[in-house]
A and B are shown apart, each in its own frame.
Chain A
Amino acid sequence: GQQVMQIPQYQHVQEGEDFTTYCNSSTTLSNIQWYKQRPGGHPVFLIQLVKSGEVKKQKRLTFQFGEAKKNSSLHITATQTTDVGTYFCAGFSNRDDKIIFGKGTRLHILP
């Protein structure tokens, strides 16, 4: 069945450093979404990517969808303490008609 793998599992960065999390699917995706979950909170939608090779930016966050629509990345420039949380990718495949979440990357910011 479809699998979505996300790396790294944990990332500790100094405040001001950059951060990247990677998402890889075992199957071609129709689209991919990214969510952020703060400690003790619920997932909050960040963005959806649909097109092959798509790149979207939200302030310090840059999202990419691979050409083959099997991988994606989220890059945060100059991290801030408010970026703390777990970032999940969620891939959707038309074939399976369900969304599969990755296990997430937990970002911890060192002051």
Chain B
Amino acid sequence: DTGVSQNPRHKITKRGQNVTFRCDPISEHNRLYWYRQTLGQGPEFLTYFQNEAQLEKSRLLSDRFSAERPKGSFSTLEIQRTEQGDSAMYLCASSLEGRVGDEQYFGPGTRLTVT
């Protein structure tokens, strides 16, 4: 058990609907990352936070995607007007304070299926 939790574990939604995922990192970790992983691929970096500040955002993250970490603890990832191409596993990871690149602890992921 890595200590990072994600909810829900599975989400099935119809195209055009909005979805929101939640990540609860390990409590003392102040860095939180979001990744997307599709079958046969490695995790693709989406964004990361240092405490409540969003420091980096991938070009993969279109305007339909938004992430927040309002109090520097849990984080939410929202996808608006979902498309079938958004179907993937969304992974959250956290790490202790330090430079990006430190050991990350991954959660179990939220599997999104857009029909």
Contacts and interface: CB of A to CB of B under 8 A. Distances in A.
B42 A104 contact: yes
B17 interface: no
Interface size class of B (residues with CB under 8 A): 20 to 34
How many of chain A's residues touch chain B, expressed as a range?
A: 20 to 34
B113 interface: no
Interface string B81-115: 00000000001010000011111111111000000
A92 B101 contact: yes
B101 A31 contact: yes
A6 to B, nearest CB: 8
A104 B43 CA distance: 9
Contact of B43 (A30, A43, A92, A94): A43
Contacts of A35: 106
A23 B103 CA distance: 18
Contacts of A97: 55-56, 100
Given A100-B45, A101-B43, A43 B91 contact: yes
B105 A45 contact: yes
Contacts of A30: 99, 101
B9 to A, nearest CB: 11
B107 A42 contact: yes
B88 to A, nearest CB: 13
A30 B58 CA distance: 19
Contact of A48 (B55, B91, B102): B102
A103 interface: yes
Nearest to A31: B101
B106 A43 contact: yes
Contact of A102 (B42, B102, B104): B42
A37 B41 CA distance: 11
A98 interface: yes
Interface of A: 6, 30-31, 33, 35, 41-45, 48, 88, 90, 92, 94, 97-104
The 9 A-B residue pairs whose C-beta atoms are closest, nearest first, are A92-B101, A101-B42, A42-B106, A45-B103, A101-B43, A43-B106, A103-B42, A31-B101, A88-B42
